[in-house]
Amino acid sequence: MGNFAIYTAARKVSPDWVAKYQGLPVANVSDVLDRMVAAGPDLRPWYTGAPMIGPAVTVKARPGDNLMVHAALDLAQPGEVVVVDAGGDTTNAIIGELMVAHAIQRKLGGIVINGAIRDSAELLAGSFPVFATGVTHRGPYKDGPGTVNAPIAIGGMVITAGDLILGDADGVVAVPFDQVAEAHDRARAKHAAETQQMDAIRRGENDRAWVQKRLQDLGCTFA
């Protein structure tokens, strides 16, 4: 793959799977992925609204440059989430209010930036999902190079075009295309179990015997 190219995604998760994941917390999905993938704690939401979910359109951008992000926003289909690896650099903003307005007009599902945004007050007051690692008033360049729909990695989490992207107040997680079915079933079961546990806590009936057993099994001494 070249470093200045736009590719066609080979596959993407279906709208049915997007609908099935609705209501599942990122934390539950992360747990069933064995706590092995995460986009890093610095990637935070900059909006006020519902959780983000949709197929990924991936962008690799040169730090401080948003030319390929503009290309991706024009190519992405309704409901898709544009996920940008801009190297985590926060010297220049990659998107701002105008680009988000364009994404809203195109009915996209969200934007994730491993880098900075600007117009943060306006974005934070809005309901369109935006995640980023920082804020700066300094604007971007538009020279490239970069790629659209090539694999990227954010915080060690590899994202391929068409993977499922979820985001909420806890952060962002990507579910690989070929793990979507298995992860959904496990996350749905975990969410149901935690809901039952919360009900037991509220009734004062939560069984805490496992704590003592775990300490004993690990050889903890009691003086």
**pLDDT score of 2:** 86
CA-CA distance, 107 to 126, in Å (whole number)? Answer: 14
**pLDDT score of 22:** 97
**Which residues are known binding-site members for substrate?**
96-99, 118
**Which residues are known binding-site members for Mg(2+)?**
119
The 3-state DSSP class for residue 28 equals helix
**pLDDT score of 33:** 95
Query: Could you tell me the fold of the domain covering 4-187?
Result: Glucose Oxidase; domain 1 (3.50.30)
Q: What is the pTM of this model?
A: 0.95
Q: For residue 184, what are the CA distances in angstroms to 21, 104, 189?
A: 7, 28, 9
Closest-CA residue to 56 (of 42, 41, 72, 45): 72
**Confidence band, pLDDT 50/70/90 cuts, at residue 223:** confident
pLDDT tens digits along 69-118? 999 999 999 999 999 999 999 999 999 999 999 999 999 999 999 999 99
CA-CA distance, 135 to 95, in Å (whole number)? Answer: 10
Tokens 């039952």 sit at which residue? 196
Higher pLDDT, 37 or 10: 10
159's tokens: 């994202």
pLDDT at 1 over 80: no
- Rg from Cα positions in the chain: 20
- 47 near 112, Cβ under 8 Å? no
pLDDT tens digits along 44-76? 999 999 999 999 999 999 999 999 999 999 999
Q: For residue 7, what are the CA distances in angstroms to 75, 107, 150, 200?
A: 11, 21, 7, 50
State the chain's mean pLDDT as an integer: 97
Strand partners, 6: 148
Domain ranges of the chain: 4-187
**Which residues are known binding-site members?**
96-99, 118-119
